[in-house]
Structure 1
Amino acid sequence: MEHRFDLLGSGWVSVECDPKSYRLSSGNQKRALAIRQLIDSAYNPIDWQLDFKSGYRWRADRLSGTLRYGHEPAVDVKVPWELARLHHLSWLAQSGDEKSIREFRNQVLDFAAANPPGYGVNWLCTMDVAIRAANIIIAYDLFISQGIEFDEAFLGEFHALIVAHGKHIMANLEWHDVHRANHYLADIVGLLFVAAYLPCTDESNAWLIFSVEQMINEVERQFTPDGANFEASTSYHRLSAEMVVYGTALVLGLPKDKKAILGGKNSFPDWYFERLERMAEFCVHVTKPNGRVAQIGDNDSGRFFKICPSFDEAGGTFKEQHLDHRSTVAAINGLFEREDFEEFSGPDVALDTTVVSALAGGQKITSYLKPGDNPGAMGVQITGGVDSGLSVLAQTFIEPVDATVLNGLTVFSYPDFGLFIWRSSRFFMSVRCGPVGQNGNGGHAHNDQLAIELNIDGEDWIADPGTYLYTPAPNDRNAYRSVHAHAAPKIGDKEPSRLDFGLFRLENNVDARCLCFSPDGFEGRHAGYGVPLHRHIEIQDGKIRITDLISGTKSSKVIPRIVKDGTSLRKLWSLDLRFSPGYGIRD
């Protein structure tokens, strides 16, 4: 109610302004004034165009397509974009009291008045327009489900705003024949929410047919059969999986008149629901004993909905936990009702399950697993020959104080994503070995081939440091993408893949391959340094032995290094970059 926000590392900041300070184009001023007359007089408007971390403000009187970003140091366009996604509206709806109802109404009208369609920074990225549309609609539906009614004047403006979002999305789809990814998927699912909300017209019907067809196509394209996302990022996997589960539930629960537009039959092919179910399995399998996921690839803290965000209340402040993916698993379980998913996600995020179930009209999907079966990625091993004639570069023995922590490990294999995992209730280790993602573009991948992540008894011995920032700090962006930020094999100061192709492209040259993988170890290789480089991992006798080898050079004597704790291991491997648990945040 106080318009204080903590987004992308900003800390709690009041984001208000004098509406008279808004510079709208002359053609938009009359309309904006009419909308503002519907807002309660005591309401203080939000400064929607402001990067409230740097103080930079974009112009609301300029066409969105003419605005620049990434051109000023320390200025981050993602800050106003994140605020304008309006995730917080669903929290108001969960309260449902009169004050929250008025705040929802006022904020929607405030946004409409301050952000004329096609003007200002908040119509610049179609993905953010689409996510905003879905969040406005889901919050509205949560209010309506409680029997709350809104006045006709507001409903007229609300309807006009949703139509404007739909038209903008359709006219500005982020489609690319090769490299389309989560942005296009967001466009499609946002358009689906718009089409489902609006009354049936030729236009909205066309949007519905198109968005359902495209969502199915993109699920097949952007998620591999084992359920993992194709962008080489565990955090972007979560974002895209959320889009898919909420979009799917919405289609399943469409009213009869909307279903008739789709032909009145099941819209989804046979393979579809297994892939969706396995998206949740991937989230479970990449979660460490401390409840946080292994942070592979980029993490911009992006979400589709934040109905039940996870917060750390330590120190008397609420800090969002961006590496807690339980709510995504809970949402997917709204369709499958798997006991293991429910146990994993717990009661704190049960509302995500309820919302998805309600969107789907209570329909449940039969699991691809038969009673007694294990998840598809569990226990999958890879066998193959190991190259000979290699020279040892380095060798490290990791010896946990309690050797029994290595007992009873289960393996999980995601070769299409490029992640191989050993885990138990006390232990997690992963090794990254696979494609750079996005069909070779590598826009959200890091130089992390053959890097490990290690967690023992809830303590991170080795943790990928994350992403930190994108365009505001190019040097930091590349520092967090660098091989030197990761527990990967290194040769001097070299990078295995070039970082100078742009902030959202990684050279696709490594040809990373897993040669063998089992409960006892791993062998993988890549050619990013110009010659094959191998990492050999053995788990036996209460120890983890990691040996890095290279072909084409003469062996020299290498003294094995022994470590017994995480601090020593990080020091040995020179891993001192500050950990970033979410975008814009560093511990």
Structure 2
Amino acid sequence: MARDLKFYFYKAIKTPPQRLAREVVKRSLRLVKNRVVRYKDLNSAPSRGSKDKAKLFSFVNIANLDVSGVSPKVADNLIHMYMDHRYDLLGSGWVRVDYSVHPVGVEGYIYDMSPHLNQFDASGGWLEKLLLPNRWETSKKIWSHVSKGYVPIDWQFDYKSGFRWDTKKWYKEQEIGKYPGVDIKVPWELARMQHLPQMAIFSLIVPEKRRDLILEFKNQALDFICVNPVRMGVNWVCTMDVGIRAANLLLAYDLFKQIDEDQIIDGDFDAIFRNSMIEHGQFIVENQEWSEILTSNHYLANICGLLFVAAYLDRNETSDAWLAFAVQEMINEMNKQFYNDGTNFEASTCYHRLSAEMVVYSTALLFGVLEQKKEALTDYRVQGIKRLKKSDAQPFNLKRESNFFPQSYLSKLFYSGVFSRDITLPNGNVAQIGDNDSGRFLKLSPNGSLMSFDEAQRKYINLRAHNASLQPELFWDENHLNHGTVISAISGIFPDLSGAGGHFPLEASMVRELGRGKTVVSPVALEQRKVSLPQMPELKYTSCKEFEFENDLTEGISSYAYPEFGGFLIKSNQMYLFVMAGGNGQNGNAGHTHNDKLSFELAVAGENIFSDPGAYLYTPMPERRNFFRSIRSHNTIQTADGEQNDELTLFSMKDQSRCYLLERTDFSLKVCCKYKNTFHVREFVVERRKLVIKDACNLPFEANWERSAQHSNGYGKLSERKV
């Protein structure tokens, strides 16, 4: 509570008075509205939904998808996992998620809150144990369409810790971060439904499983809808996840519907599914993660999810307005959240991938929309949606279809792919800067490696509590640091990037299908902002560190600069050096940045010498999160000033540091970081077989050359650093 008060006080004094007053009024009105909605949700029977038989649009011809990069062995392995309701999410290990899970716990914290249900009658009587009475009739009718023998998934369960949220509680009253080891992201991640489009794609690779996969999609979708009434339980808490779920459900439906020769996905399912998508769209509109003070990747996910819903629904007054609003806001957010050099403002390479992924698939879908329902963007009515502009005031251009998007939009999208390409190490991974919650918008190509569970257990500390007999012999380990899929997706619009993302042709073909084959000539780079250098005090404390290698570090050397993100690279045939010298992101909110200024990643001859330790966990272990994002976890210097940016909450810091580029050549880099009373200048000089790092500071300092004992290459995943 004290931390929250400190955060709100800090933000209040940083916010202009008029804007702060507007925010207070809006929050007060929202509280009143919430009380009315809550009463209805807890006491009234839900709307029966529309009986309209209108069909959803289709944007992808599944026969045109290039699945040549998907391994049949991996596809078969994941089909078996998904059909058995096993999921490895956020470091969980492959766990069967039902109503009788026995969790292994998170670092010793275990909660036994499973309802331990194992009887699921066709009449749906079991639902009475989970839902409020006013939801029984509707949910039982939905359950009646589920196949006999199907075992439902417990969508409310953190199957890592064993904590369970309650579908009898209103969505705004669910607990977050209250109990140690408990992670609300686990049910959220599962309920994003990102395995469903993958299942549709796998049906092309393993056609003998096609009918089973279609049936499984239908059952899982109905299962979720019947036990997750809108605004009840954990899976409506975060609008970001609602948006991502809607996009994945719609894409999976689009793909499966085309290959459903036996009409498993029948008219009754269509009606239930369509009503659910309308509920998702309405929820997003009414629960936008928007603030006049700050919007971030969460709001971007809201808008992209709404775009998918509005695009796939038949045209009517509501869906037309949703579509126009989504397009308007996507262009606005691209302007706010991406810099002119193509990088994202979250100060994190992995959040850059997440946001770029949302934008590229949504942009492609918009190209498809312009062919199928272009008139919706001129004929809509503005009533009912706050901030929706009239058609003649929109940032998009319908008069010239070839120039629908502003030039800055397309430039930022193209260079977002160039950035991901440039920061890729020889092993195919990217430098891990800032937070990494393993977040994705669409997961299409499997990206990782198969290994024995014994190998996985030796590699990951978080798997060591698992009973090997309950884990699959072949363990699929997803790689969260390879960004080849998003580069490939962007190349579907900008062919100049073709091949830069490795062997992931599926993503490029999906983007081409969504966008009806629309491609764009690579735009020119935009002018970057100018930054004036600070006045430097005397830097009388210095040190020099030399790293010697047998390889020639200078052969094929070149440098790359992304000053708005603060990423500077020197790469050669044998060396990769990434230096972080940027801002705190999110316009100073610093929600996903680390105290990593002037730290670096270094690889020589394909071997990682220094790499960022990652992020590990968020709310389940606040002290662990703070350690992983602290200055002592990064190879920079420490002075008496302590942290470069002091913590406010788990998702904010004080905006106290500033970084500057002083000099750059292909062989050297000189950068500066100023925070509190500290001025730190670090210079990197590449010689033939040597990397020299020189530090200078106005205060006594200690350089941290020790590598963190533990490393996290994805959310919830933890391994011991190799010495």
Task: Flag whether TM exceeds 0.5 (same fold).
Answer: yes
Q: Equivalents in 2 of 1:525, 1:245: separation in Å?
A: 34
User: Could you tell me which residue of structure 1 aligns to residue 299 of structure 2?
Assistant: 184
Q: Does 1:534 align with 2:681?
A: yes
Equivalent in 72, 75, 85 of residue 3 of structure 1? 85
Tell me the CA shift for residue 384 of structure 1. 8.1
User: Could you tell me which residue of structure 2 aligns to residue 48 of structure 1?
Assistant: 155
Given the superposition, is the C-alpha separation of residues 55 and 551 from structure 1 closer, same or farther in structure 2, using an over 3 Å criterion?
same
User: Could you tell me which residue of structure 1 aligns to residue 36 of structure 2?
Assistant: none
Q: Equivalents in 2 of 1:548, 1:497: separation in Å?
A: 20
User: Could you tell me which residue of structure 1 aligns to residue 169 of structure 2?
Assistant: 62
User: Could you tell me which residue of structure 2 aligns to residue 568 of structure 1?
Assistant: none
Q: Does 1:152 align with 2:234?
A: no
User: Could you tell me which residue of structure 1 aligns to residue 197 of structure 2?
Assistant: 90
Given the superposition, is the C-alpha separation of residues 382 and 287 from structure 1 closer, same or farther in structure 2, using an over 3 Å criterion?
farther
Which digits, 9 at most, give the CA deviation of each residue in 1:101-134, with x for residues without a partner?
Answer: 0000000000000100010000010000000000
User: Could you tell me which residue of structure 1 aligns to residue 333 of structure 2?
Assistant: 218
Q: Does 1:114 align with 2:227?
A: yes
Pairing 1:431-442 to 2, within 5 Å after superposition: 431-442=579-590
Preserved CA contact (<8 Å) 1:392 1:547? no
Which digits, 9 at most, give the CA deviation of each residue in 1:16-36, with x for residues without a partner?
Answer: 124526510111111111000
Given the superposition, is the C-alpha separation of residues 465 and 377 from structure 1 closer, same or farther in structure 2, using an over 3 Å criterion?
farther
User: Could you tell me which residue of structure 1 aligns to residue 59 of structure 2?
Assistant: none
Tell me the CA shift for residue 464 of structure 1. 0.3
Q: Does 1:464 align with 2:608?
A: no
User: Could you tell me which residue of structure 1 aligns to residue 215 of structure 2?
Assistant: 102
User: Could you tell me which residue of structure 1 aligns to residue 460 of structure 2?
Assistant: none
User: Could you tell me which residue of structure 2 aligns to residue 14 of structure 1?
Assistant: 96
Q: Equivalents in 1 of 2:446, 2:337: separation in Å?
A: 25
Pairing 1:331-350 to 2, within 5 Å after superposition: 331-338=489-496, 341-347=497-503, 349-350=504-505
Q: Does 1:405 align with 2:553?
A: yes
Letter in 2 for 1:546: I
Q: Equivalents in 2 of 1:226, 1:514: separation in Å?
A: 15
User: Could you tell me which residue of structure 2 aligns to residue 195 of structure 1?
Assistant: 310
Letter in 2 for 1:447: N
Letter in 2 for 1:60: T
Q: TM-score, normalised by structure 2?
A: 0.75
User: Could you tell me which residue of structure 1 aligns to residue 599 of structure 2?
Assistant: 451
Preserved CA contact (<8 Å) 2:553 2:690? no
SS in 2 for 1:313: strand
Q: Does 1:30 align with 2:137?
A: yes
Equivalent in 382, 386, 389 of residue 538 of structure 2? 389
SS in 2 for 1:547: strand
Q: Equivalents in 2 of 1:447, 1:32: separation in Å?
A: 48
Given the superposition, is the C-alpha separation of residues 214 and 389 from structure 1 closer, same or farther in structure 2, using an over 3 Å criterion?
same
Which sections of structure 1, spanning at least 5 residues, go unmatched? Answer: 370-374, 562-571
Tell me the CA shift for residue 495 of structure 1. 1.6
Single out whichever of 68-77 and 489-498 deviates more from structure 2: 489-498
Q: Does 1:317 align with 2:475?
A: yes
Letter in 2 for 1:368: P
Preserved CA contact (<8 Å) 2:570 2:667? no
Which digits, 9 at most, give the CA deviation of each residue in 1:147-176, with x for residues without a partner?
Answer: 654210100111011001000000000001
User: Could you tell me which residue of structure 1 aligns to residue 711 of structure 2?
Assistant: 579
Tell me the CA shift for residue 177 of structure 1. 1.4
User: Could you tell me which residue of structure 2 aligns to residue 483 of structure 1?
Assistant: 631
SS in 1 for 2:649: coil
Tell me the CA shift for residue 377 of structure 1. 11
User: Could you tell me which residue of structure 1 aligns to residue 484 of structure 2?
Assistant: 326
Preserved CA contact (<8 Å) 1:385 1:516? no
Q: % of aligned pairs identical?
A: 40
User: Could you tell me which residue of structure 1 aligns to residue 430 of structure 2?
Assistant: 293
User: Could you tell me which residue of structure 1 aligns to residue 387 of structure 2?
Assistant: none
Equivalent in 216, 237, 242 of residue 357 of structure 2? 242
Preserved CA contact (<8 Å) 1:323 1:582? yes
Q: Does 1:204 align with 2:319?
A: yes
Given the superposition, is the C-alpha separation of residues 154 and 425 from structure 1 closer, same or farther in structure 2, using an over 3 Å criterion?
farther
Q: Equivalents in 1 of 2:650, 2:186: separation in Å?
A: 18
Preserved CA contact (<8 Å) 1:386 1:523? no
Tell me the CA shift for residue 549 of structure 1. 1.1
Q: Does 1:356 align with 2:511?
A: yes
Single out whichever of 281-290 and 488-497 deviates more from structure 2: 488-497
User: Could you tell me which residue of structure 2 aligns to residue 545 of structure 1?
Assistant: 692
Given the superposition, is the C-alpha separation of residues 40 and 11 from structure 1 closer, same or farther in structure 2, using an over 3 Å criterion?
same
Which digits, 9 at most, give the CA deviation of each residue in 1:359-395, with x for residues without a partner?
Answer: 00111111126xxxxx8899x9999899573223432
Q: Equivalents in 1 of 2:327, 2:575: separation in Å?
A: 41
Given the superposition, is the C-alpha separation of residues 535 and 64 from structure 1 closer, same or farther in structure 2, using an over 3 Å criterion?
same
User: Could you tell me which residue of structure 2 aligns to residue 569 of structure 1?
Assistant: none
Preserved CA contact (<8 Å) 1:253 1:360? yes
Preserved CA contact (<8 Å) 1:163 1:194? yes
Corresponding residue pairs, total: 561
Which sections of structure 2, spanning at least 5 residues, go unmatched? Answer: 1-82, 100-116, 121-125, 204-209, 379-397, 453-473
Q: Equivalents in 2 of 1:585, 1:502: separation in Å?
A: 23
SS in 1 for 2:613: coil
Which digits, 9 at most, give the CA deviation of each residue in 1:379-435, with x for residues without a partner?
Answer: x99998995732234320011122x12332111101110111111343210111111
Q: Equivalents in 2 of 1:116, 1:81: separation in Å?
A: 15
Given the superposition, is the C-alpha separation of residues 98 and 425 from structure 1 closer, same or farther in structure 2, using an over 3 Å criterion?
farther
SS in 1 for 2:482: coil
Single out whichever of 279-288 and 418-427 deviates more from structure 2: 418-427
Q: Equivalents in 1 of 2:534, 2:130: separation in Å?
A: 67
Preserved CA contact (<8 Å) 2:639 2:699? no
Tell me the CA shift for residue 574 of structure 1. 2.1
Tell me the CA shift for residue 575 of structure 1. 2.0
Preserved CA contact (<8 Å) 2:555 2:574? no
Q: TM-score, normalised by structure 1?
A: 0.91
Letter in 2 for 1:448: D
Letter in 1 for 2:674: A
Q: Equivalents in 2 of 1:196, 1:104: separation in Å?
A: 21
Tell me the CA shift for residue 516 of structure 1. 1.5
SS in 2 for 1:295: coil
Q: Equivalents in 2 of 1:445, 1:183: separation in Å?
A: 16
Tell me the CA shift for residue 573 of structure 1. 1.4
Q: Equivalents in 1 of 2:137, 2:573: separation in Å?
A: 62
User: Could you tell me which residue of structure 1 aligns to residue 103 of structure 2?
Assistant: none
Preserved CA contact (<8 Å) 1:382 1:516? no
Single out whichever of 352-361 and 527-536 deviates more from structure 2: 527-536
Q: Equivalents in 2 of 1:147, 1:58: separation in Å?
A: 35
Which digits, 9 at most, give the CA deviation of each residue in 1:327-368, with x for residues without a partner?
Answer: 001111111122xx3322233x21111111000011111112
Which digits, 9 at most, give the CA deviation of each residue in 1:65-119, with x for residues without a partner?
Answer: 1111100000000000000000000121113300000000000000000100010
Given the superposition, is the C-alpha separation of residues 463 and 15 from structure 1 closer, same or farther in structure 2, using an over 3 Å criterion?
same
Given the superposition, is the C-alpha separation of residues 381 and 121 from structure 1 closer, same or farther in structure 2, using an over 3 Å criterion?
closer
User: Could you tell me which residue of structure 2 aligns to residue 230 of structure 1?
Assistant: 345
Preserved CA contact (<8 Å) 1:309 1:327? no
Tell me the CA shift for residue 217 of structure 1. 0.6
User: Could you tell me which residue of structure 2 aligns to residue 308 of structure 1?
Assistant: 445
Equivalent in 210, 220, 241 of residue 128 of structure 1? 241
Given the superposition, is the C-alpha separation of residues 421 and 377 from structure 1 closer, same or farther in structure 2, using an over 3 Å criterion?
farther
Preserved CA contact (<8 Å) 1:477 1:503? yes
Given the superposition, is the C-alpha separation of residues 401 and 56 from structure 1 closer, same or farther in structure 2, using an over 3 Å criterion?
same
Preserved CA contact (<8 Å) 2:557 2:667? no
Q: Equivalents in 2 of 1:384, 1:530: separation in Å?
A: 16
User: Could you tell me which residue of structure 2 aligns to residue 524 of structure 1?
Assistant: 671
Preserved CA contact (<8 Å) 2:558 2:667? no
Q: Equivalents in 2 of 1:32, 1:208: separation in Å?
A: 29
Letter in 2 for 1:270: Q
Tell me the CA shift for residue 524 of structure 1. 1.7
Preserved CA contact (<8 Å) 2:553 2:688? no
Single out whichever of 195-204 and 511-520 deviates more from structure 2: 511-520
